[in-house]
């Protein structure tokens, strides 16, 4: 078999880097004194944590796009739904410490003169319930949406367009104040998580490490999926879907499977994102966000998993740096980066570095037949 | 899988009767009839537009006929779609090799193995010794043993065609539909393909659509000539070649 | 004057043409015959520049056009009447004819009247959508469209396919007239044997991408030659 196992060289390097970060970042922030040049400032811990959440989102997009050929331009919706589930839990934790001092109702509901907590907010005061919803909300959306989309055999650009429509519809819905999710202000002013002060340095560091852990675990799970026979089938669906059908596989079922798994990962990413940035609002549903996630994957290297994660981190790091260093020009620099990668590095960053060891093992020149030896 | 109720060589396995298909007023198939026995290899020939591809599409479930019966053993094929028909035991090989270019030869065959097709089963599937033996047998039959770990994209045209035939065999079909297998092949590849198909027939039924008369000669089987959607003549290649109606149709309009 | 020497064509790894040599002279019709799948259309595509040929060379009017793209070859005077006509169905007859202008220098961008003399039906249907024409009318439009180019080489791929007999007669007449003018070279791919035989000044027969027979029109009466075209 040409497979080199879930833990091949690039996987191990990636996981090692994650593990190192998960340990080093909290150390450099909490233990190393602030006068020391190696000290990692507080804001950087949050920033790096944010990058990791984006890396997980990129991973989820790579799973459906790089390995199954489903160009989802709406994965931001799954990210946002996971984020909202976490946000709703955090809102409930505020209790009476909000501006209006109402122990049961979040500030924005008091402001809207709502008499009581709507039914769909019930249960979010319990952490386990909220965590289930982090998975259930995006998962259910992916299941229903995917069921109709894949069954109707919509593919290619048409599928991408309706994923955009999906996230756009949610954007509009969540913007409305009467939906009860905070309207355009969203959910914010969180106080604590599981009893711990959400602003505390220690909590920040733990959230960072958890993000690294989530990326690592989902990476391993994704590797397991793509290296299994299921992975072979979805790669077949990406390369020659009719062939897969003629082999007797129900392509819709396979697509649905990876689409839902991917949505769950995106939901987890969103749920880890919200406590670190301290806010969730409907702009997370913006179609542009989903498109950006795809660009991270294309930049980093579609179909490699670790490449997608790397792409997300590099682009967002570049974004942060350029907005500070070149506030006028950063958009242009970013645009130039995208164009350059598309033109000169079509396989993204990952394609230019690694994968060569794998390629060497499997590609062989064809045996020459007499007629061809001319 | 519902096995067709046809056990013996010599019994009818594939039966088409009065099959008609129209596309936008154009009659692609016109009361077409066909009878292929178990273990038989049949060659289908005919000028352009005679309806050969449409006939294959009807049998494999890609196109539903407007009228007529399509029976595989005792199963009515018009009630099923491509995946179901593939699982019933009909394998189709397209003219253009459609192997999975980014997979290795081994992985291509693995995908085609007869196995439970559900996603969850596929997720946890591990190859058994029996599976590996089957793949090795197919590699031997198609003469691709040395290329088992090569990426399919790197195979020659002929090798890709044999790989695809191999994939077809992995599904353990009872009927193989092979569409212009030797188009674009070298002479030696064409010869090898003829002997490969002859080895396969007898255990399975094979229906071959081709234009290459040397290849059909090498196969040495019963020939059905299609013209304008129905059967014009049927018999040995020799008899069909002498048939004046056939000559007329090939030369004229 | 066209000379294609020892050209091959591959679609991916599949070999469609194998070392084919064919030529065409002004005032002569070269017929390309052969069963389905033998490479006739591939040969036309190679000459027109739609698919890149491998090996050998293609010379046209003294110029080596082997590396030229299809648009450059059209500008050089090679016009194609493809199999299946490929009329632009949402454009009108007039607009279809005008698409030929792309390959002409500004000064020549007009529809020569003689096209309407050859095919009067096109004149009466100038405003009709291409897709609304009958098969025979579309074929006439396709030939007319090619003639707008004032071609030096006319490539016709199975112009009688699916056409009613009366229009076939018209087309035969037109092709004959064009040949008799002496200024155009014509390569005609056909499966309609008698049609080809009546028009051919020379012919080649393809089998499996190779030239297996060639010669003058008298040879087409030979039974062995005919056998190459039937079952």
| pLDDT tens for each residue of A49-92 | 999 999 999 999 999 999 999 999 999 999 999 999 999 999 99
Q: What DSSP string runs through A4-71?
A: --SS-HHHHHHHHHHHHHHHHHHIIIIIS-TTSTTPPPHHHHHHHHHHHHHHHHHHHHHHHHTTT---
- Angle between helix B157-170 and helix B187-200 axes, rounded to 10 deg: 10
Q: Contact at 8 Å (CB) between A284 and A76?
A: yes
Is the Cβ pair A364, B147 closer than 8 Å? yes
What pLDDT does residue B3 have?
A: 60
- Asked if residue B227 is part of any domain, the answer here is yes
pTM over 0.90, yes/no: no
Residue of chain A nearest B159, judged by CA positions: A366
pLDDT value at C218 more than 70: yes
d(CA A258, nearest CA chain B) in Å = 10
What pLDDT does residue A99 have?
A: 86
pLDDT digits (tens, 9 = 90+) for C155-197: 999 999 888 888 899 999 999 999 999 999 999 999 888 899 9
| Segments in B80-227 forming alpha helices (H) | 82-88, 105-112, 119-123, 129-141, 157-170, 187-200, 213-219
State chain C's maximal CA–CA distance in angstroms: 51
What pLDDT does residue B253 have?
A: 53
Q: For the domain that residue B42 is a member of, what is the CATH number?
A: 3.40.50.300
Is the Cβ pair C193, B186 closer than 8 Å? no
Residues of chain C positioned with their CB less than 8 A from the CB of B180 = 37
| Segments in B201-243 forming alpha helices (H) | 213-219, 237-242
Find the CB nearest A369 among B146, B151, B186: B186
pLDDT value at A207 more than 50: yes
| More reliable by pLDDT, A208 or A103 | A208
- Asked if residue B138 is part of any domain, the answer here is no
pLDDT value at A304 more than 70: yes
CB neighbour list of residue C60: distance below 8 Å, 6 or more residues apart? C1, C2, C3, C73, C76, C77, C78, C152, C153
What pLDDT does residue A364 have?
A: 29
What pLDDT does residue A310 have?
A: 95
Q: What is the DSSP letter of B147?
A: G
Q: Tell me which of A147, A225, A236, A248 to substitute to probe the interface with B (most B C-beta atoms closer than 10 Å).
A: A248
pLDDT digits (tens, 9 = 90+) for C100-114: 999 999 998 999 999
What pLDDT does residue C69 have?
A: 93
What pLDDT does residue B21 have?
A: 95
pLDDT value at A100 more than 80: yes
- Out of A209-213, B124-128, B248-252, C144-148, least confident range: B248-252
Q: Contact at 8 Å (CB) between A109 and A54?
A: no
pLDDT value at A373 more than 70: no
Structure tokens at B224: 């059905």
How far apart CA B235 and CA B220 sit, in angstroms, is 11
Q: Contact at 8 Å (CB) between C155 and C48?
A: yes
- Asked if residue B216 is part of any domain, the answer here is yes
Find the CB nearest C160 among B213, B223, B253: B253
What pLDDT does residue A73 have?
A: 95
What integer is the mean pLDDT of C36-40? 88
How far apart CA C76 and CA C63 sit, in angstroms, is 9
Average of per-residue pLDDT values in chain A:
88
What integer is the mean pLDDT of A194-198? 90
- Asked if residue B146 is part of any domain, the answer here is no
pLDDT value at A370 more than 50: no
Per-position b or e across A54-84, b if 16+ CB within 10 A of its CB: bbbbbbbbbbbbbbbbbbbbbbbbbbbbbbb
pLDDT digits (tens, 9 = 90+) for A218-235: 999 999 999 999 999 999
- Asked if residue B83 is part of any domain, the answer here is yes
Is the Cβ pair B111, A247 closer than 8 Å? yes
How far apart CA A218 and CA A225 sit, in angstroms, is 10
Residues of chain A positioned with their CB less than 8 A from the CB of B167 = 247
Q: Per-residue confidence at A336, pLDDT binned at 50, 70, 90?
A: confident
Q: Is B241 on the interface with C (CB under 8 A)?
A: yes
Query: With the C-alpha atoms ordered A249, A253, A256, A257, is the resulting torsion angle positive or negative?
Result: negative
Domain count, chain B: 1
Domains of chain C with bracketed CATH:
2-227 (3.40.50.300)
Is the Cβ pair B100, A230 closer than 8 Å? no
Residues of chain B positioned with their CB less than 8 A from the CB of A365 = 154
What pLDDT does residue A4 have?
A: 64
Q: Contact at 8 Å (CB) between B119 and A237?
A: no
What integer is the mean pLDDT of A174-182? 91
Average of per-residue pLDDT values in chain C:
92
pLDDT value at A40 more than 50: yes
What pLDDT does residue C146 have?
A: 95
pLDDT value at A146 more than 90: yes
**What's the half-sphere exposure (Cβ side, CA atoms, 13 Å) at C113?**
0
- Asked if residue B133 is part of any domain, the answer here is no
CA distances from C170 to B173, C140, C156 (A): 51, 9, 15
For residue B82, give its domain range: 12-97+173-251
Return the domain boundaries, chain A: 9-357
Long-range Cβ contact pairs of A281-284 (< 8 A, separation 24 or more): A281/A182, A281/A184, A281/A185, A281/A186, A281/A187, A281/A188, A282/A80, A282/A170, A282/A171, A282/A174, A282/A175, A282/A181, A282/A183, A282/A184, A282/A186, A283/A171, A283/A186, A284/A76, A284/A79, A284/A80, A284/A83
- Asked if residue B46 is part of any domain, the answer here is yes
Is the Cβ pair C231, B237 closer than 8 Å? yes
pLDDT value at A372 more than 50: no
What integer is the mean pLDDT of C50-56? 92
**Residue C206 φ/ψ region, left for φ over 0, alpha for ψ in the -120 to 50 degree band, beta for the rest:** beta
């Amino acid at each position: 078999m040409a497979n080199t196992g879930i833990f091949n060289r690039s996987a191990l390097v990636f996981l090692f880097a994650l593990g190192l970060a998960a340990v080093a970042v909290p150390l450099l922030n909490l233990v190393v004194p602030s006068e020391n040049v190696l000290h990692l400032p507080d804001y950087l811990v949050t920033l790096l944590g944010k990058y990791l959440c984006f890396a997980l989102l990129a991973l989820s997009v790579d799973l459906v796009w790089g390995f199954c050929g489903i160009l989802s331009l709406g994965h931001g919706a799954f990210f946002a739904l996971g984020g909202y589930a976490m946000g709703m839990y955090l809102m409930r934790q505020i209790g009476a410490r909000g501006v209006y001092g109402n122990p049961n109702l979040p500030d924005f509901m008091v402001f809207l003169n709502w008499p009581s907590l709507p039914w769909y907010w019930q249960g979010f005061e319990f952490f386990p319930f909220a965590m289930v919803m982090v998975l259930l909300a995006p998962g259910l959306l992916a299941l229903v949406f995917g069921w109709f989309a894949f069954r109707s055999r919509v593919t290619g650009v048409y599928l991408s367009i309706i994923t955009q429509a999906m996230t756009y519809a949610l954007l509009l819905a969540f913007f409305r104040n009467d939906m009860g999710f905070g309207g355009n202000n969203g959910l914010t002013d969180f106080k604590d998580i599981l009893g711990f002060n959400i602003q505390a340095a220690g909590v920040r560091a733990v959230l960072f490490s958890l993000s690294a852990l989530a990326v690592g675990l989902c990476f391993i799970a994704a590797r397991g999926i793509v290296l299994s026979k299921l992975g072979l089938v979805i790669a077949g669906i990406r390369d020659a879907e009719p062939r897969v059908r003629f082999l007797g596989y129900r392509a819709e079922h396979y697509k649905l499977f990876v689409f839902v798994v991917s949505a769950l990962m995106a939901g987890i990413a969103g749920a880890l994102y919200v406590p670190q940035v301290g806010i969730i609002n409907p702009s997370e549903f913006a179609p542009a966000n989903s498109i950006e996630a795809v660009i991270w994957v294309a930049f980093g290297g579609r179909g490699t998993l670790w490449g997608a994660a790397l792409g997300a981190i590099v682009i967002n790091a570049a974004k942060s740096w350029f907005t500070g260093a070149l506030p006028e020009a950063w958009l242009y620099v970013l645009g130039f980066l995208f164009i350059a990668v598309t033109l000169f590095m079509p396989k993204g960053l990952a394609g230019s570095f690694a994968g060569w060891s794998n390629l060497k093992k499997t590609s062989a020149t064809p045996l020459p037949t007499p007629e061809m030896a001319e | 899988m519902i096995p067709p109720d046809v056990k013996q060589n010599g019994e009818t396995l594939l039966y088409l009767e009065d099959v008609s298909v129209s596309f936008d007023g154009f009659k692609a198939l016109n009361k077409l009839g066909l009878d292929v026995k178990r273990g038989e290899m049949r060659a289908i020939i005919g000028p352009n537009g005679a309806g050969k591809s449409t006939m294959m599409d009807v049998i494999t479930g890609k196109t539903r006929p407007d009228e007529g019966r399509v029976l595989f053993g005792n199963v009515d094929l018009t009630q099923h779609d491509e995946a179901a028909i593939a699982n019933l035991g009909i394998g189709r090989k397209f003219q253009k090799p459609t192997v999975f270019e980014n997979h290795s030869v081994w992985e291509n065959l693995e995908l085609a193995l007869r196995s439970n097709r559900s996603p969850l089963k596929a997720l946890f599937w591990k190859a058994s010794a029996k599976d590996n033996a089957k793949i090795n047998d197919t590699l031997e039959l198609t003469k691709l043993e040395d290329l088992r770990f090569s990426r399919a994209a790197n195979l020659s045209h002929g090798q890709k065609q044999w790989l695809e035939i191999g994939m077809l065999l992995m599904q353990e079909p009872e009927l193989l539909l092979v569409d212009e297998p030797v188009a674009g092949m070298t002479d030696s590849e064409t010869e090898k393909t003829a002997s490969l198909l002859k080895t396969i027939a007898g255990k399975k039924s094979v229906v071959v659509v081709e234009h290459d008369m040397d290849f059909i000669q090498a196969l040495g089987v019963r020939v059905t000539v299609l013209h304008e959607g129905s059967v014009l003549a049927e018999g040995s290649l020799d008899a069909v070649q002498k048939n004046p109606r056939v000559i007329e149709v090939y030369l004229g309009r | 004057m066209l000379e294609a020497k020892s050209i091959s064509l591959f679609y991916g790894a599949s070999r469609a043409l194998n070392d084919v040599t064919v030529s065409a002279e002004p005032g002569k019709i070269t017929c390309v015959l052969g069963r389905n799948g033998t490479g006739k259309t591939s040969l036309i595509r190679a000459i027109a520049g739609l698919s890149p040929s491998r090996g050998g060379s293609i010379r046209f009017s003294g110029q080596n056009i082997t590396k030229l793209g299809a648009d450059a070859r059209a500008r050089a005077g090679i016009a194609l009447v493809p199999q299946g006509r490929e009329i632009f169905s949402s454009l009108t007859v007039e607009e279809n004819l005008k698409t030929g202008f792309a390959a002409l220098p500004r000064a020549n961008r007009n529809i020569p009247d003689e096209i309407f003399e050859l095919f009067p039906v096109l004149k009466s249907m100038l405003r009709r959508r291409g897709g609304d024409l009958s098969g025979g009318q579309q074929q006439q439009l396709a030939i007319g469209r090619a003639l707008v180019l004032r071609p030096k080489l006319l490539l016709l791929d199975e112009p009688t396919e699916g056409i009613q007999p009366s229009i076939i007669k018209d087309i035969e007449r037109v092709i004959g007239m064009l040949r008799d003018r002496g200024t155009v070279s014509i390569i005609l791919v056909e499966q309609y044997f008698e049609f080809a035989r009546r028009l051919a000044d020379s012919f080649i027969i393809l089998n499996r991408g190779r030239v297996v027979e060639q010669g003058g029109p008298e040879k087409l009466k030979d039974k062995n030659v005919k056998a190459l075209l039937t079952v």
